[in-house]
Amino acid sequence: MSKIVVANCFQETNSFHPNSTTYEHFNVHFGQDLFEANRQDISGALNVFSRQTNIELVPAYGAGMGAGGTITQACFDQIAEECLEAIEKHSTNAEALYFSMHGAMAAEEEKDPEGYLLEETRKILGPNVPIVISLDMHGTVTRRMLQNINGAAILHTYPHIDWYQLGKRAASMLLRILEGVKPIIASVYTPTMVRGDELKTATGVHGTLIRHCEHLEERNDVLAAGIMLGHPPTDVPEQGSRIVIVTDDNRELAEQEALKLGTDFWALRARMQCVLYRVEDAIKIAKKSDGPVIFSDAADATSSGAPGTSNAILKGLLQSDYAGRVLFPIRDEPAVEKAMEAGIGRTITVPLGGTKDPRFIPLEVEVTVEMLSTGKYFSQGNGMGNAGPLAILRTNNITIVVSTQPSVLCDYSMYLGLGQDPKKFDIIIVKLPHTPHHLYDAWAVRNMTIDVPGAASPNIKTLGHKIVPRPIYPLDEDMSFIPSVEVFS
């Protein structure tokens, strides 16, 4: 029997979020609980491992959440201690370790949490036990991470739909390493921060690079090929993008393909920036459109770690003479409380926005309370959703869905559950950079990313980086750079 230890540490840090992430924000799982947590990447890995008869799987530890602010050092210290203790406890006779990670964690002091965990895990397991990791594509792979692993699988799709396959790829690679293949990792770093529509796998230029990776992965001597895009809202010293190619003992191929992809990636850097519209211009375009228009507020996307309390687009709409029907979501706990106190049908004046983000000054808006809800709704595919106490407020042509849970701001099912079919509006504000095609883009006539402030602004130069390496594109637009390959084996 081969004993394989499984661990997980997963969070996407947004360094520009005004609040910190603490231990209470994480879902922590010890032992068997990790396998009960229904993580898709781990489920995919379990699918592969379970087909082997000679494997003993040992779930050690998991600490995961979505996106949030910088992790307090105390929180990371606690998670690291618990995680490493659990790995150590199960390390006797362990033959391999699968570590499910995100890649965009950053703590107050430790700016490379994944690198720290992998370095310490390597010390526990020794040099001969293979470690394979799986990663979201929105993160930083550091040299310290690459020095302490034997293989990495990276998500191939954005919007992300291959979590399960990601786990399967990682597990398959780990099994091949156990069978005796000799992994060689070649990696090319580019000093780039990228955003925008060209990163969508199905339609953007990034997809053409991914299809090359997938083609490579069909070869028997290629264990994995992937691209870490970097994550601009995480302000860390090794910020940038990285090609990661893992071959079976074929150094030349690994180097050649990593360099080719890295060179192509660098050449495409300007295209992989977001096309942005000023809110006034977007409203003008919406007026002339003959169908529903999406305003993407990527800057306040809770999925990218922003608080979801931006009122910038609402302000633009209120200051305009736009008369079409508008659906605007926001997170604002005090406004929901006020609406609850007033009751359905009452007209009140509430400050809206900025509650968790001092970038935004609350807007005093006169609204009618149209609906109050516990926020429980049936979410397609995910069972019951919970938006927390919620209010639907109306000011003239604008329907404002005020929630208290940040994560659900853009759940399409929540709108349907509340009787607010997005298709019945003329402008729909979506607090996400991109959504699966069928939700909005399939029926909207336009989708514009609005240039407004926010912790996750795709206008990268406005974020206020202090730690990223310089020069880096697009902060230093005229920089020159020649990609080169690094090998880890």
Contact positions vs Zn ion (CB under 5 A): 136, 138
Q: What are the counts of helices (DSSP H) followed by strands (DSSP E) for the chain?
A: 12, 21
Shortest approach of Zn ion to residue 63 CB, angstroms? 18
Could you tell me the CA-to-CA distances from 133 to 64, 364, 369 in Å, in that order? 15, 48, 49
Shortest approach of Zn ion to residue 44 CB, angstroms? 16
Which is closer to Zn ion, CB of 227 or CB of 398?
A: 227
Shortest approach of Zn ion to residue 434 CB, angstroms? 10
Strands 326-331 and 427-430: parallel
CA distance 241 to 430: 27
Shortest approach of Zn ion to residue 403 CB, angstroms? 22
Which is closer to Zn ion, CB of 138 or CB of 206?
A: 138
Shortest approach of Zn ion to residue 138 CB, angstroms? 4
Shortest approach of Zn ion to residue 158 CB, angstroms? 7
Shortest approach of Zn ion to residue 409 CB, angstroms? 17
Report the C-alpha dihedral over residues 465, 468, 472, 477, rounded to 10 degrees: 10
Residue located via tokens 């070869």: 219
Which is closer to Zn ion, CB of 136 or CB of 257?
A: 136
* Cβ contact 326:429 at 8 Å: yes
Which is closer to Zn ion, CB of 150 or CB of 304?
A: 304
CA distance 378 to 31: 31
Shortest approach of Zn ion to residue 349 CB, angstroms? 39
Which is closer to Zn ion, CB of 90 or CB of 156?
A: 156
Tally of residues, the chain: 489
Comparing every residue's Cβ against Zn ion, the nearest one is: 138
- Torsion 385-7-187-240 (CA) sign: positive
Residue located via tokens 């974020």: 463
Local structure of 123: helix, strand or coil = helix
* Cβ contact 110:17 at 8 Å: no
62 has which bridge partners? 8, 29
Segment 51-58 long-range contacts (CB within 8 Å, at least 24 positions apart): 52/2, 52/175, 54/1, 54/2, 55/1, 55/2, 55/3, 55/4, 56/1, 56/2, 56/3, 56/4, 57/4, 57/6, 58/3, 58/4, 58/5, 58/6, 58/90, 58/94
Shortest approach of Zn ion to residue 222 CB, angstroms? 23
Could you tell me the CA-to-CA distances from 288 to 293, 320, 430, 482 in Å, in that order? 10, 15, 20, 45
